[in-house]
Structure 1
């Protein structure tokens, strides 16, 4: 007996089939099928032949591969009973509930007292499929591992693309060839992690940023994840995502995976990117002020660090407002006796030495300049040198002999008393002062991973957002250590990296655009001498790199020369003039013929802007044309340099490139298949090209 269901949008179809009440399989996932396709025929055709040296039947590569079915790869769940004995589930199909764009499949194992449900939903506007699994047990059991519903990987693929990284070097692409066996990644840091962003792109052979087929995956969970990409001995391939293994520390009767977001693209990696960007921006994030333009930030961290003096902060605010900032964020150092990073985390009381009249004198000054006010917290952390730790050492997560990180320990967010204390202390600051923004930091890994820690943090965030719905929250974790769709259900912005080095940022932003839209991605202009790399970069390059995302400044603005200040004002005004349409734009990575160029195109209906960053010295003499993407081939576009005023600084550029003197009008076909020939430039510079459909 065969039962089949299909979920689809304009570009993809997902067919799921159940045969003889076994666990369902993804029978087909790819370009949209004809409406009259016979799904039972597809399910039957999905079967594989049997040859020598094999079992008499292929075990199902199902949505939860079963060890009890002699499956030779990674099973979809690993369970033990209260005595530690392994449980091998034998799940039998019960029912399907099919709704518009959604499907739930239910299974049971009466002998072991288990019930399993797999959920699938497709969003016809964002082209993203969301899927998750639930498991119920009659008696408490120990969960080692439970995968979200499992998907097959394409056969015509030579490699997979996932992500590595470090502090100040997030979102580095790792390309791994497919081979027999398993690529397994078990991130056990207790947070999303700089090291392993929970994403995966599988390009089919010949795919690039702009063309070909690709499959995208993202696991929306902030507590560490497990990813498995496995090629079985029979050649089939499977993709599994789950919470990090062994992070459910107590026996329970109910378990649920985080959502797994997947998509198919026939327009290269960019098709995956636009699905993730749109879904995160329009479905996952909830905005306190959805119609308000994204404000230009000023953050004081790299100006003052812990040295808070109200007159200096007011003078800095004056300068920031003059440059175009619209939100002033007071960073670390305003509470307890916080003169360095060794003390006072957990003591969320305003430091009367630095602020004898509280925060009002500074906030009133900032508001008088027309800026809103934000503030830094690191709620989940505590210093041993703090009044809170001395009063409640039992609130700490982990062993007394653990190694500290940045002189701090982690509060156990599973404890209601901890969450209540933090809610009261943060809530008092938000009640006493007119604050519209929190920078929420998380500066160390957990001593050991624990799923309850993540759930407790989500709970606290939700309580605060319910009590203070006007407050926006940024997820920061030593920069990009906690970025995922799970935390973004509770926040509105991410701090992509602690590196304000524009050259490093150019690369990090380019790769993060595979998942993150402009609206949520903070990017700031740092000091002339970068504090994390020591590199000195021109203000023009620094400013345009920040203008690619949600723009801000993070330096002492009093260090700027008159010329630097003028540049910053001009670029900031350009960003303000374009921010509304750019917020809704797709970020498309371009395939630059010159490997020294990292280029992307922000496209929204009939308007686009291209940022072409020169990260290195070109091997050839003259610039190679840069192909654009996603345009109307038959339309004419007016294309112009937004930063033509920088031509005089490009040194050796002596030719008569048309864009140097004015706009050009050319077809979309020309722009996509020949491309724009840009003027010559030095490394560590940016050309900004604006285009409008005529």
Structure 2
């Protein structure tokens, strides 16, 4: 069984295909974490409570750490009871096993606070989900001041390194690595959403590589303020605590009420970072993404923003739709500017009615025309925001998040609606209902373009005002859940000034995410590389645009950069030459041939764009019979060399593979070798460009895409 309780030593064993996770009760009846790592052959091989290294007079290794009980690791739970007591004492009550779930019940009997620890095993991907349910069984209020989803522990070593994703607007998902030293390292967001500054992902390794070594990893499924703390001392194991950020947060747990934390997802790989990423990717496809569309192929989309910005009209959108259909686009998306008095970003946001000057007969004529061209129709919305210059704000100035007697800070000329309010929640549901009911819409791009600053909520009682941080997100999820259930035909894309709200929480409702507003094809390589450590390629939207200059990047290079996930096009098609249209049509056709492997396959990073002369990513289908290699030169490091030895991964040693190049009807064979040879000796990627280049010229950027096909199961 995957979950086993050993009564003799009072230990619980949670085992997946390759991972073991063990905790037990000590002599005082307190839960202690005992082991997390490679699955061991026997239960007797795992450590017991007496095997813990305890070099301090205070407690460590608590399976669920609290503020109290001599605990000295960062706490998961801190409350204040009605009489001012701030010390939590939890005693073990019982446990229950329900299939792939384990539930441990703890109780602070004096004050009637019940705590349930939930564990769910994802055996195939060596992943465990953890979350916590608090219940107030007393007749008095309990003030929650801090509630995290889990505390974890990994082995202490001077070799331990922390890997995380950081950045800013236009430069998200940059991978960083640093040694873990004594003290605390905090990854967090305080801006009301996941943020571009940090992402709720971590990995700890011990000099691991892509294919070898131990990697412990985790992600938090939460789209608001979050926190991951990594705490180290000289002797004790390294502690990891993750959950909702306690900054500016309290929550009044009323009698008979419950509070459920977001899931903290963690796993282990003994085969390096590649396996860790692949497990996360396919876990997301199989367990996190909305399952009605999780395994459906993402369509090639065109978004008209760069071509027309706010100046959208029925006429100019029809012209763009014709040109998009000409190159094989399957989904046409109209962006900002179709509603209210929205002629720039200063006005109209919040007034979700069709602008009659731009669309005299509404959206239906455009939608019908787009569909007559064989494409689906999509639309952009930003429901959480409002411009001060709007009818909505003039009628409901109290609906925005604000502190009385304090300025209302604008960002991008807009304020943020208080989704924690039920009337605001209902307003958004109502206008989205009207939009989707009256129009044959297949796709919604949902944007969210600012941070929360003045986090006031004066309409509710003072003691509950700091609940805004969680109630906002709960209502956001409720809205998305409602829309998905009522409009199952609609595909939803999550966007927040680019990749500012990418996490497992929103991914339970969004089919894909907008990775970054920065669509420069070379800049995107580092963004997409970092993204790949934590999130599946399928959900990552990449657009072919003119960002960075058409004179700098060949159109093929722009396409190849964008083909590493789900493909979109945002370039101004009105400025395309006939040659551009020919190239674009061929590249779209080519992507359609390889996209199932890219979107559903297993991804291997063959290099790092920050360290190598090139960036190459390989994808393999599950039975290893077909693959794709996407190669792009890194001109910052390339120097004068024009040849690269590329070693493939994941192939079957004894099988015979042929490498091809080109679209299906014009494929050219490059080389045929055994799987082992392709992994050990590799293939040569040879530039067709000049050796001596001037930086910034279009021939400085070179790319190729190769197909891998198994032609025999056995070379003999």
TM-score exceeds 0.5: yes
Separation (CA, whole Å) in 1 of partners of 2:551 and 2:417: 36
Separation (CA, whole Å) in 2 of partners of 1:228 and 1:558: 50
Cα 1:208/1:86, change in 2 over 3 Å: farther
Post-superposition offset of 1:578: 2.2
5 Å-filtered alignment, 1:582-593, equals: 582-591=598-607
Separation (CA, whole Å) in 2 of partners of 1:446 and 1:466: 29
Cα 1:281/1:289, change in 2 over 3 Å: closer
Separation (CA, whole Å) in 1 of partners of 2:99 and 2:23: 15
Is 1:640 aligned to residue 656 of structure 2? no
Separation (CA, whole Å) in 2 of partners of 1:347 and 1:92: 53
Kindly indicate whether the alpha-carbon contact (under 8 Å) linking 1:586 and 1:603 is maintained by their aligned counterparts in 2: yes
Kindly indicate whether the alpha-carbon contact (under 8 Å) linking 1:142 and 1:251 is maintained by their aligned counterparts in 2: yes
5 Å-filtered alignment, 1:231-380, equals: 231-246=232-247, 248-253=249-254, 254-289=258-293, 292-380=296-384
1:629 to 638, 641, 649: 649
Which residue of structure 1 lines up, in the alignment, with residue 51 of structure 2?
46
Which residue of structure 2 lines up, in the alignment, with residue 600 of structure 1?
617
SS at structure 1 position matched to 2:297: coil
**TM-score between the two structures when normalised by the length of structure 1:** 0.92
5 Å-filtered alignment, 1:528-543, equals: 529-530=548-549, 536-543=552-559
- 1:125-162 deviations in Å (ceiling 9; x for gaps): 33321111122233322222212121112334431011
Is 1:544 aligned to residue 525 of structure 2? no
The number of aligned residues is: 669
Cα 1:86/1:410, change in 2 over 3 Å: farther
Which residue of structure 2 lines up, in the alignment, with residue 125 of structure 1?
124
Post-superposition offset of 1:203: 1.5
Runs of 4+ in structure 1 deviating by more than 6 angstroms, as ranges, are: 643-646
Separation (CA, whole Å) in 2 of partners of 1:512 and 1:187: 18
Is 1:676 aligned to residue 683 of structure 2? yes
Which residue of structure 1 lines up, in the alignment, with residue 5 of structure 2?
none
1:508 to 527, 531, 540: 527
Cα 1:88/1:231, change in 2 over 3 Å: same
Kindly indicate whether the alpha-carbon contact (under 8 Å) linking 1:143 and 1:246 is maintained by their aligned counterparts in 2: no
- Aligned-CA RMSD value: 2.3
2:26 to 19, 24, 28: 19
Kindly indicate whether the alpha-carbon contact (under 8 Å) linking 2:145 and 2:251 is maintained by their aligned counterparts in 1: no
Which residue of structure 1 lines up, in the alignment, with residue 696 of structure 2?
none
Which residue of structure 2 lines up, in the alignment, with residue 649 of structure 1?
none
Kindly indicate whether the alpha-carbon contact (under 8 Å) linking 2:644 and 2:686 is maintained by their aligned counterparts in 1: no
Which residue of structure 2 lines up, in the alignment, with residue 656 of structure 1?
none
Post-superposition offset of 1:214: 0.6
- 1:582-637 deviations in Å (ceiling 9; x for gaps): 32202221246971212211111221111122122324635342222222122221
Separation (CA, whole Å) in 1 of partners of 2:513 and 2:241: 26
SS at structure 1 position matched to 2:488: coil
Separation (CA, whole Å) in 2 of partners of 1:6 and 1:100: 14
Separation (CA, whole Å) in 2 of partners of 1:388 and 1:528: 34
Kindly indicate whether the alpha-carbon contact (under 8 Å) linking 1:209 and 1:591 is maintained by their aligned counterparts in 2: no
5 Å-filtered alignment, 1:174-185, equals: 174-185=176-187
Which residue of structure 2 lines up, in the alignment, with residue 163 of structure 1?
165
Separation (CA, whole Å) in 2 of partners of 1:586 and 1:192: 26
Separation (CA, whole Å) in 2 of partners of 1:173 and 1:643: 34
Is 1:691 aligned to residue 708 of structure 2? yes
SS at structure 1 position matched to 2:534: coil
Is 1:200 aligned to residue 216 of structure 2? no
- 1:430-474 deviations in Å (ceiling 9; x for gaps): 111100111000000112371111111111111222221211111
Which residue of structure 1 lines up, in the alignment, with residue 694 of structure 2?
none
Separation (CA, whole Å) in 1 of partners of 2:471 and 2:30: 29
Separation (CA, whole Å) in 2 of partners of 1:199 and 1:367: 40
Unaligned runs of 5+ in 1: 647-658
Kindly indicate whether the alpha-carbon contact (under 8 Å) linking 1:9 and 1:32 is maintained by their aligned counterparts in 2: yes
Cα 1:49/1:229, change in 2 over 3 Å: closer
**TM-score between the two structures when normalised by the length of structure 2:** 0.89
Kindly indicate whether the alpha-carbon contact (under 8 Å) linking 2:75 and 2:241 is maintained by their aligned counterparts in 1: no
Separation (CA, whole Å) in 1 of partners of 2:664 and 2:288: 38
5 Å-filtered alignment, 1:137-176, equals: 137=136, 138=138, 139-156=140-157, 157-176=159-178
Kindly indicate whether the alpha-carbon contact (under 8 Å) linking 1:21 and 1:93 is maintained by their aligned counterparts in 2: no
Separation (CA, whole Å) in 2 of partners of 1:245 and 1:147: 9
Post-superposition offset of 1:21: 5.3
Post-superposition offset of 1:349: 0.7
Post-superposition offset of 1:290: 5.8
SS at structure 2 position matched to 1:149: strand
SS at structure 2 position matched to 1:666: strand
Which residue of structure 2 lines up, in the alignment, with residue 652 of structure 1?
none
SS at structure 1 position matched to 2:595: helix
Post-superposition offset of 1:345: 1.1
Separation (CA, whole Å) in 2 of partners of 1:637 and 1:264: 31
Separation (CA, whole Å) in 2 of partners of 1:168 and 1:493: 18
Kindly indicate whether the alpha-carbon contact (under 8 Å) linking 2:306 and 2:571 is maintained by their aligned counterparts in 1: yes
Post-superposition offset of 1:558: 1.9
Separation (CA, whole Å) in 1 of partners of 2:645 and 2:626: 20
Which residue of structure 1 lines up, in the alignment, with residue 4 of structure 2?
none
Cα 1:337/1:12, change in 2 over 3 Å: same
Kindly indicate whether the alpha-carbon contact (under 8 Å) linking 2:206 and 2:213 is maintained by their aligned counterparts in 1: yes
Post-superposition offset of 1:527: 2.0
With 137-146 and 562-571 compared, the bigger mean Cα shift is at 137-146
Post-superposition offset of 1:248: 4.1
With 356-365 and 593-602 compared, the bigger mean Cα shift is at 593-602
SS at structure 1 position matched to 2:10: strand
Is 1:485 aligned to residue 504 of structure 2? yes
Post-superposition offset of 1:380: 0.7
Separation (CA, whole Å) in 1 of partners of 2:294 and 2:669: 37
Separation (CA, whole Å) in 1 of partners of 2:143 and 2:24: 30
Kindly indicate whether the alpha-carbon contact (under 8 Å) linking 1:73 and 1:232 is maintained by their aligned counterparts in 2: no
Post-superposition offset of 1:481: 0.5
With 558-567 and 489-498 compared, the bigger mean Cα shift is at 558-567
Post-superposition offset of 1:247: 5.2
